[in-house]
Structure 1
Amino acid sequence: MVTRTAFHYLVVVTVSSACGLAVEITAGRLIAPYLGMSLYTWTAVIAVVLAGFSIGHWIGGHIAEAPQEAVRRRVGWALLLAGLSTAASLVLIRLVSGPIVSAGMTPVPTILALTMALFFLPSVFVGIPSPALVKLAIDENPPRIGRLLGLFYAGGAIGAIAGTLATGYLFISWLGSTRTLLLVAALYLAMGASLLVVRPRTQPAGALTVPLVVVAVLAALIAAGGMRVSAFTGNCDVESDYYCIRTVDVSDEVGTEARLMILDHLGHSISSRDAPQSLLMPYVDAQDMLARIHSGRRTPFRAFFIGGGGFTLPRAWLDARPDAEITVAEIDPAVTAVAIGEMWLRPDERLKIVHQDARQVLSHDRAERYDVIVGDAFHDIAVPPHLVTGEFFALVRSRLADDGIFLMNVVDSSRRPRLVLSIAEALKQSFGRIEIWALQPSGERTTFVIAALEGPSPVDRLPLRSDPAQAFVRLPAEAVADLVAALTPVPLSDDYAPVDRLIGVE
């Protein structure tokens, strides 16, 4: 039989484990507007949180050797500090993200530095209670040491599972990442207080007054700082199951009423209200020109989009071609809703939107053949591996007309584009000709447009209509061959597609 006190400790261990995993899941979403979401961000988050847990457990083991009342009191303070540091992370991200991101480091150290600054201390503090409270429960009933150990380990595991599922499926979708962290902070504070309010007979009545005043002052400072930098309102216009979605008015920059859709940290598409055919994103302009060159006279004109985003190019083609029949596979219904509400996308009987993974859509609906398939589901260092493999490209080829064209954009290193070359090699298994177009002039990282088709393009330079000083230039076959020899592309398959290693991020 578990005593009331031991049950109290079990509840604290279970709920604190749930909260620790909730912070871990939410952390990736919280930093997405600054660094995006990729294998790199999740690896950093998991490593930092686990490192914090480990150090916290070690500290908790040392605390467990103290007298019982001291253990309970110190665990209570650890939970109060977990709550304060969790709430403070919302303020810190507004204060330190700019200096860290602009420090000139490559993406991986930048991600690690920001994650460490925000989530290491909360993880340390929440790692403290488990070993200490288990020891207290055992001290109350030494003959049941085995059962108590099993019970507390099970409670911690169940809490971690519950925290993961609740955060991933409920809290982020319904509360958003900011309010989820505030809820976690409140739970930490409540659990810490529950351990501190039990006052032993030997402790003076006012012994906790000064420490609690200090905690209240710190909480007030965090709240004031958060309100000053708008830390508790969130960065997202809409926070969906997949993205932090924002729209920004860029009318002054482009000279006409227009909005930019931002998915996580990356500007995805720009739409003009009164000029749907005005394509202001360079890679979208290039894709449009290549599609017009190779399929401009076909009627009806059928196109399939892997990813919708702001629906800029589908909207342009619907406006330009009365005979257009366009299917868009956009996995996130919230993105479509924002495109309709903010990016001037209008429902059209010629536009079919499927809220499903594009590979599943292409696999299940084999009756349709398309003149153009556009791959636009790629976000900087976040590349869906299952959409760049030889098997997927064979599926794409089977869904194209005999003389159809597949277009996709990829962001990669301008000097060492190993991912682009690896994708091109995978495409060669199914297409007769592969063209790599690079934006010029370019920086350290640049946007490439890859065209997979059967015949050559009649031009080797595509000046941007929005900025003729820039152009997409087709890489000569000799230059591509030299890059292939120097960089050794990796064959991409469903079994092996190391896109995160190939993408040129260190």
Structure 2
Amino acid sequence: MKQLWLLVAVQATVAAASLVVEIVAGRMLAPYVGMSLYTWTSVIAVVLAGFSAGHWIGGRLAEGTPERALRANGWALVLAATTTGGAVFALRGASGPVIATLENPLAAIVTLSLLVFFLPSLFAGIPAPILSMIAVQAHPDRKGRALGAMFAAGAWGAILGTLAAGFLFISWLGSVGTLAVVTVVYAVLGLQSLMAAGGLRDLGAGVLAALLPGGLAACALTLPNPCTVESDYFCIRVIDATDDPRFPVRMMVLDHLVHGIADATEPTAMLNPHVMMLDGLSRLRMEGRAAWSAFFIGGGSYTVPRAWAAMDLPVAVTVAEVDPSVTQVAQEHFWYAPGDHRIVHADARQTLQREDTTYDVIVGDAFSDIAVPQHLITREFFELVDSRLNPGGVYLMNVIDHTDRLDVLASLVRTARTVWPSVEVWADPAHDPRVTRRVFILLAGETRSPRTRIHHDGPLPADAVRVSAASLDRILEARDPVLFTDDYAPIDRLLGDHGEG
């Protein structure tokens, strides 16, 4: 195994496989801790730390004879296969105790990342210096070229692995299936190195050792998938909220956050406060109109469009939902029939920029983890929304914040006030004060709403109240709210220092 082309191929394959694991890591953590800036920061840091430790170990091992170095390389890859194949079991076994023990979500994210993905990265980092040293020693007259080829192979492998994971493997195979493939790739490369180092004797021992990662990968494939559908964007889960099959109620969970609740027999039921407010406030502001139009940023379980269809409201509905699988799940599991609703499977901001259609109501109900995506909270986006509102139109958006801080709410109000003359905040008066995380509705437009309270009848009667202007001003005066712009919108940081509440 001294031909440069073969060393380059192995180096590129190991690099590609290790980056596939890194991309899969973020998706696997999502059902437990969400898919946020902090999740990706932790995953990248842990994987790089593993690579660094592996490179250091591999550098020491590379100082031996080529045969000993290849043997060490082979066993490192077998261990990479074993820890990769066991990652699913490690995550499912550790997630419960870690999340229950560590109240700080950032600590939980970092700890889970370390426990599950550090060792696969460490063992995958060992081959690079070993293979590079062998390439240099095997080509003494072309040391620089050999070393450059190995570095290039690592970089290109990482690029191809990243693209393959994001665009192909996870979509085709899912996270567990992708890890199983990587496990097999590591094991095969490990056996190849062992055979090159010591012939059949080392190969036989390697085959026996490779049975463990192979068995782990096979067992992992038999585990129940926590996702009902694993799409290109989310782990989508459908959870039955009632045991009575005659009156089914279901929750849609995207990654780890409930995005909608629907009642099969009561399409107009609003079973969580923020949906009730989005529905009630939209109808309040459009009261008396013979016909109106609405644009939804995010579909979720499509609860409000479904309810409006059941109410036979004179509203033309457009929904921009980036994930087609969310729409499909809403139709298959949440009793949503699109009818004459227009559904656009694209980013809402891009859709509003591309089209010059105007609306009477624009509803922002998109989340990435518990935060609204950064590009949907900025002054520039609000200006775009305002340009797509008809005279007298309103913009409503969901806001999640912690009641002991309210930094996000204050910053969004400040930002919205740079665009609209009237900015209101509505809240659920029945909210449990012991729960610090709370959902608000920001409503912006040309004029104030005609009422300060709305009521919803149904299986769960509920009210919503408008926060007084004086209270809202005090919230802003007591803080230093951020003006969110396309250049600076640190919503993850403003939310990230808190537990779930």
TM-score by length of 1: 0.92
Is the contact made by 1:378 and 1:410 (CA closer than 8 Å) also made in structure 2?
no
Please say if 1:358 is aligned against 2:348.
Answer: yes
SS at match of 2:243: helix
Q: Which residue of 2 aligns with 1:181?
A: 179
Equivalence map 1:56-95=2 (5 Å): 56-95=54-93
The answer (yes or no) to whether the contact 2:257–2:370 under 8 Å persists in 1 is no
Matched, 1:213 2:208: yes
> What displacement does 1:123 show?
0.3
- Please give the alpha-carbon distance, in whole angstroms, between the structure 2 residues aligned to 1:472 and 1:181: 47
Q: Do 2:179 and 2:217's aligned partners in 1 also have CA atoms closer than 8 Å?
A: no
Query: SS of the counterpart of 1:408?
Result: strand
Out of 286, 291, 301, the position equivalent to 2:277 is 286
Cross-structure match for 1:296: 287
1:255-334 equivalences under 5 Å are 256-334=247-325
Whether 2:436 is the aligned partner of 1:480: answer no
Q: Which residue of 1 aligns with 2:495?
A: 503
* Shift of residue 383, structure 1, vs aligned partner: 2.5
Aligned residue type for 2:232: D
How far did 1:60 drift?
A: 0.5
Question: Which amino acid in the other structure matches residue 381 of structure 1?
Answer: I
8 A Cα contact 1:308 1:329, kept in partner = yes
Give 1:503 shift. 2.4
**For residues 200 and 81 of structure 1, do their structure 2 counterparts lie closer, same or farther at Cα, with a shift above 3 Å needed?**
closer
Whether the 8 Å contact between 1:261 and 1:267 is mirrored in structure 2 is yes
Contact 1:308–1:336 at 8 Å: present in 2 too?
yes
**8 Å contact 1:380–1:411 — kept in the other structure?**
no
Matched, 1:412 2:398: no
Preserved CA contact (<8 Å) 2:392 2:445: yes
Structure 2 partner of 1:429: 418
1:17-48 deviations in whole A, cap 9, x for unaligned? Answer: 00111111111111111111111111111111
Q: 1:133 to 1:502 in 2, by over 3 A?
A: same
Name the CA shift for 1:384/1:223 in 2 (closer, same or farther; >3 Å).
closer
| Conservation of the 8 A alpha-carbon contact between 1:413 and 1:504 | no
Corresponding residue number in structure 2 for 1:340: 331
Deviations 1:24-80 (A, max 9, x none): 111111111111111111111111101110110011001011122111111100000
Verify the 8 A CA contact 1:417 1:504 in the aligned structure 2: no
Contact 1:100 1:113 in 2 (8 A): yes
The answer to whether the Cα contact below 8 Å between 1:90 and 1:226 also exists between their aligned partners in 2 is yes
Aligned mates of 2:246, 2:23 — CA distance in 1: 41
2:485 corresponds to 1:490 = no
How much does 1:347 deviate? 2.9
Shift of 1:210: 5.3
Counterpart residue identity of residue 280, structure 2: M
- Measure how far apart 1:470 and its partner are: 6.4
**In the alignment, which residue of structure 1 is the partner of 2:387?**
398
Structure 1 residues 213 and 200, CA, compared in 2 at 3 Å: closer, same or farther?
closer
Q: Secondary structure at the match of 1:37?
A: coil
* Distance of 2:496 and 2:5 partners within structure 1: 51
Shift of 1:455: 2.8
Deviations 1:308-367 (A, max 9, x none): 111110111122134221011111111111111111111312x1011111112222222x
C-alpha separation between the residues in 1 aligned to 2:315 and 2:143? 72
Identity %: 44
186-195 or 255-264, larger mean C-alpha shift: 255-264
Say if 2:445 is the partner of 1:453: yes
3-state secondary structure, aligned to 1:256: coil
Equivalent residue letter for 2:485: S
Where 2:380 maps in the other structure, the secondary structure is helix
Cα distance in 1, alignment partners of residues 218 and 350 from structure 2: 48
Q: TM (normalized to structure 2)? A: 0.93
Inter-partner Cα distance in structure 2 for 1:199 and 1:112: 38
List runs of 5+ in structure 1 lacking aligned partners. none
Once the two structures are TM-superposed, the CA of residue 216 in structure 1 deviates from its matched residue by 2.6
* Superposed displacement of residue 121, structure 1: 0.4
Q: Deviations 1:443-483 (Å, cap 9, x if unpaired)?
A: 12111111113333344344564687865443222322222
Partner residue, 1:194: 192
Aligned to 1:245: 236
Instruction: Report the Cα distance in structure 2 between the residues aligned to 1:384 and 1:73, rounded to whole angstroms.
Output: 48
C-alpha distance in 2 between matches for 1:380 and 1:315: 24
SS at the partner of 2:478?
helix
Residue pair 1:81, 1:125 contacting (<8 A) in 2 also: yes
